[in-house]
Amino acid sequence: MENIKEKLAVLIELQQKDSNLDKYRKQMETLPRQVEEKNNLLAGCRAELDEGKKSATQFQLLRKEKEIELATKENDIRKHSMELNSVKSNDAYRALMSEIEKAKQDKSKLEEEILLLMDNIDQESAGVKVKDTELKNNETKIKVEITALENEYKNMQETLAQLDAARNEYAGKITLELLQRYEFIRSAREGVAIVPINDSSCGGCHITLRPQIINEVYKGLDLVTCDNCSRILYKKEEPA
């Protein structure tokens, strides 16, 4: 392809195809992140449920410990009450009565603690049921969403392969040397290798171009690049 105008037309179209491919790839890249976010949401729900179960279990274990302590205090009260019948002195009687009174106070305190623990257990158990229901609902919904995203990603991969193949086929319209030159500039200049002249300025870096550069572009005898950013320049076609 010797005609500079034709080369420029191919490069402009090729850049448009590459730009569309870049956008398509960026769109694809969001899908795995969305899947990860949804999996993290499920993991968070499971963690909250596990924490609730763990808390309820801890309250239950503590309740059992308190109930064992309560049984011990009740046994002490019965034992000391029976011992009252066999004491011989007032001092011994008063000592036993003091122990019985202390045991009763401890018993009363333990009963209050057990009641509080029972309330905590009820609250945690109710919370666990709610979280379990939420998790099941979220799992069903999110698994459907994840499957849809994975299917969409698979379809986009297939489409991307087709677009990529079409792009490469189109790129065959220019020489390998020119293609490599275009791709080098594009990779170095944020995906833009060829730009129009806008009011005597480079359409890429916007620097004012030398008159000689502008004249060379308008003559169309060779590919001309911007002195500043090295992008390939072309003359915009005036609307008919």
List pLDDT tens digits, range 85-101: 888 899 899 999 999 99
- The percent of residues in the chain predicted with pLDDT above 70, rounded, is 98
Does this model's pTM top 0.85? My answer is: no
Above 80 in pLDDT, residue 238? no
Q: How confident is the model at residue 2 (pLDDT cuts 50, 70, 90)?
A: low
Q: How confident is the model at residue 240 (pLDDT cuts 50, 70, 90)?
A: low
- The percent of residues in the chain predicted with pLDDT above 90, rounded, is 90
Report pLDDT for 1: 44
Name all domains of the chain by residue range, CATH numbers in brackets: 18-173 (1.10.287.1490), 178-234 (no CATH)
The pLDDT tens digits of the residues spanning 62-71 come to 999 999 999 9
Rounded Cα–Cα distance for residues 77 and 109 (Å): 14
Segment 206-224 mean pLDDT: 96
What is the DSSP annotation of the chain? ---HHHHHHHHHHHHHHHHHHHHHHHHHHHHHHHHHHHHHHHHHHHHHHHHHHHHHHHHHHHHHHHHHHHHHHHHHHHHHHHHGGG--SHHHHHHHHHHHHHHHHHHHHHHHHHHHHHHHHHHHHHHHHHHHHHHHHHHHHHHHHHHHHHHHHHHHHHHHHHHHHHHHHHHTTS-HHHHHHHHHHHHHTTT--EEEEETTEETTT-PBPPHHHHHHHHHTSS-EE-TTT--EEEPPPPP-
What the block records as the tokens of 216 is: 């060379």
Which of 111, 157, 146 lies closest to 36 in space, CA to CA? 146
